[in-house]
A and B are shown apart, each in its own frame.
Chain A
Amino acid sequence: MPKPLKDSDQKPLVATVVPGTSDRAWIANGYDEVRAILSDDRFSTMPPAKTPEASRRLIQPGNLLQYDPPEHTRLRRMLTGEFTLRRVRALEPLVEGVVKDRLDAMEGAGQPVDLVAHFVWPTTSLIGCALLGIPRDDQAELVRHLDTNRLDNPDREQRDMAGTAYLAYLDKLMRLKRRKPGDDLLGRLIRDHGRSLTDPELTGTAATLLASFIPITGGTLGLGLVGLLENPDQLALLIERPELIDHAVEEVIRSVTIIPHASPRTATQDVTIGDQVIKSGEFVACSLLEANGTRAPGQPQDTLDITRDNSHHMAFGHGLHYCMGASLARMELRIAISGLLHRFPKVRLAVPRDELRFTARSVESLPVAW
């Protein structure tokens, strides 16, 4: 295996305390340490509680990240058939169609255009909704709820209301689909596994998938385009050598690492990592950002290099919770980025770099000309 792209300048595994308590917790920053922890079955991702039963009650039904085996295995297996490489390839024409429509609309509107509002979010939300089978008329409202509900919205009350509306909508939709499952992901899930899934599990699965798809893939696409536009030499190289697109997509995913930390893990027994012992019951936060040698959005980044082999990065996590949508996300990013560059080979930022504004997981707007 190639070594990590850049060693983290933080200590590989540091002890700290859980805020507001005297309990010890850990932060893993080193590539090897993060990889070891995420692939070790002795760590649990279930919500922390005094007893396993209490912990189970705290799980958001359908949110795979909060289950341990064997429940995790049972739920994940029902979904993996929907995310095979063959399925992802079968979705390519849909994605190509959506991307083409957006590019036509941009061309019609004339430059400069805000890529975030006119390309990144519309393509990603249309694809996510089509995949799950959200009726066209409902898509805009649902995506608005999801956007208002995002973690970095400072208005708590507004955020919670949007979260409730989002779940209520999906709950209603699942009831409809139970009666009339269509030929889409949720429909097939109901037809094949509907009897062994509870209503909250089904609704929760839909909620998790859509919330994993839209903000995360959209955020990566937006920030990835910033990275490419800031590195005109890399952009020019990609236009000259379109066959580099797979490497470029992987480099974009690594350089953004949109999920900065994996879900907290709790040791279920004492685990030795390097020369330190994580005691049973202690938490670990694994920094995917540090393990990947990445900086938060808007911070100066290391050089982007679309020719290097970075296929061992951990932006999709590692271990049994490895991202289920990884192939799908790669496919969308590939078609979106190559489609944009093919249509507008002279695409460039239309504002100075310092005027770009970032949230924790996205760029707010990205005006470009061509």
Chain B
Amino acid sequence: MEIRVDRERCAGSSLCLSYLPEVFDQSDDDGKVLLRTPVPGADMEEAVRGVAARCPTGAITLHARDAQDA
């Protein structure tokens, strides 16, 4: 699974990085999301999905990397 973030949409809520600081970070300049770990391990997948669903602007999306990794 690969994470993509839409920095244009991101509202800088800090929600994602407060839940998963190992995956998400935030710019000091505009407060918008930065990706620390674009391809997290399978064990993180559920947590990342939970965070993506909570993101107030839908700026976090998840994408399959190849056929085995849907």
Which residue numbers of A lie inside 8 Å of B, CB to CB? Answer: 1, 39, 73, 76-77, 79-86, 88, 311-312, 316-324, 326-327
Q: Let me know if B30 and A77 touch, CB within 8 A.
A: yes
List 18 additional A-B contacts (Cβ < 8 Å) besides A39-B57, A84-B14, A84-B27: A76-B11, A77-B31, A80-B12, A81-B28, A81-B29, A81-B31, A84-B28, A85-B17, A86-B28, A311-B19, A311-B54, A312-B53, A312-B54, A320-B9, A322-B13, A322-B56, A327-B13, A327-B18
Contacts of A80 in B (CB 8 A): 11-12, 30-32
- Flag whether B38 is at the interface (Cβ < 8 A): no
Contacts of B40 in A (CB 8 A): none
Q: Can you list 28 A-B contacts (CB < 8 A)?
A: A1-B50, A1-B54, A39-B57, A73-B8, A77-B12, A77-B31, A77-B32, A79-B31, A80-B11, A80-B30, A81-B27, A81-B30, A82-B31, A83-B12, A83-B14, A84-B14, A84-B26, A84-B28, A84-B31, A85-B18, A85-B26, A311-B54, A316-B56, A319-B57, A320-B11, A322-B57, A326-B13, A327-B14
Residue of A nearest to B17 (CB): A85
Contacts of A322 in B (CB 8 A): 11, 13, 56-57
- Taking the closest CB of chain A, its distance from the CB of B13, in whole angstroms, is 5
- Taking the closest CB of chain A, its distance from the CB of B69, in whole angstroms, is 23
Mark contacts of B1-19 with chain A using CB atoms, 8 A cut-off: 1 yes-contact digit, 0 otherwise: 0000000110111110111
Which residue numbers of B lie inside 8 Å of A, CB to CB? Answer: 8-9, 11-15, 17-19, 26-32, 50, 53-54, 56-58
Task: Give the CA-CA distance A76 to B10 in the complex, in Å.
Answer: 11
- Taking the closest CB of chain A, its distance from the CB of B32, in whole angstroms, is 7
Task: Give the CA-CA distance A305 to B57 in the complex, in Å.
Answer: 28
Task: Give the CA-CA distance A318 to B13 in the complex, in Å.
Answer: 10
Residue of A nearest to B50 (CB): A1
Q: Let me know if B58 and A39 touch, CB within 8 A.
A: yes
Q: Let me know if B56 and A319 touch, CB within 8 A.
A: yes
Residue of B nearest to A85 (CB): B14
Residue of B nearest to A328 (CB): B14
Contacts of B27 in A (CB 8 A): 81, 84
